[in-house]
Each structure stands twice: as C-alpha cells, then as structure tokens.
C-alpha cells in the first residue's frame, strides 16, 4: 500500500491552505491552484499530509491509497 496526494479540481477554489501547510509536496500555479508532487507521500510527511487534507476549506485535497505496490 502506498498513499498519494490528489486534488479534486472541481471542488478546489484555490485557497492555497495546502501549500501553506505542506510546501514540501504542494506548490501553487500562477492562478493559485495546487500543483502536487508526483509519487507516493514520503513516510515522514504522512502526518503533515493528513493535516493538510483535514484543513482544506473546500475538502478538495485527498489522500488516495493505491493498491499497486511501488517498487
């Protein structure tokens, strides 16, 4: 099991909270929408990622469990 960040671009309205809370994995584009780092969430950032997901004002940020094992 590995976890990946994903954003629902329909619900996202670009508050930018995720980039504040998790700058290691989230950057903002020129219009203020998140650009997520590709690949699985590194273990040491798992807590911060969960916090960013919880605090997203539009609940647009998700952690997706992928069943495919990363090798």
Partner 1 sequence: MSRRLAPAGPGRSAELAVLAGPPPRRGLPRLLAGMSYDRPLGLAEHERVHGPVPLRGGGRGHPHRLIGLVERSGLTGRGGAGYPAGAKMRLVARRRGPAVVVANGAEGEPASSKDRLLLTRLPHLVLDGISLAAEAVGARQAYLCVHRRETGLLASLRAAADDRYRAGIDPAPTEVVGIPGRYVSSEQTAIAAFLNGREGKPAFTPPRLHERGVGGRPTLENNVETLAHLALIARHGDSWFRGMGLPSATGTALVTVGGAVCRPGVYEIGLGAPAGAVIMMAGGPAEPPQALLTGGFFGRWLPAEYAWPVPLSGPTMRAAGGAMGAGILICLPASACGLAETARVVRYLAEENAGQCGPCVFGLPALADALADLAYAGGRGRAVAQISSLLPVIEGRGACRHPDGVTQLVRSALQTFGADAHWHDRNGPCYGVRRDPLLAVPGDAEREWDWK
When asked if residue 66 is in the footprint of partner 1 (CB under 8 A), the reply is no
When asked if residue 1 is in the footprint of partner 1 (CB under 8 A), the reply is no
Closer residue to partner 1 in complex, CB, 47/52:
52
Whose CA is closest to 36, among 48, 19, 53, 52? 19
- Collapse the DSSP code of 66 into the 3-class scheme (helix H, G, I; strand E, B; otherwise coil) and give the result: strand
Q: Each residue of 45-55: b (16+ CB within 10 Å) or e?
A: eeeebeebbee
- Minimum CB separation from partner 1 for residue 6, in Å? 9
Closer residue to partner 1 in complex, CB, 20/47:
20
When asked if residue 30 is in the footprint of partner 1 (CB under 8 A), the reply is yes
């Amino acid at each position: 099991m590995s976890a990946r960040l994903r954003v629902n671009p329909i619900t996202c309205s670009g508050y930018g909270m995720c980039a504040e809370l998790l700058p290691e994995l989230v950057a903002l584009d020129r219009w203020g929408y998140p650009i997520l780092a590709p690949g699985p969430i590194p273990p040491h950032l798992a807590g911060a990622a969960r916090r960013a997901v919880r605090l997203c004002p539009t609940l647009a940020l998700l952690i997706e469990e992928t069943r495919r094992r990363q090798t």
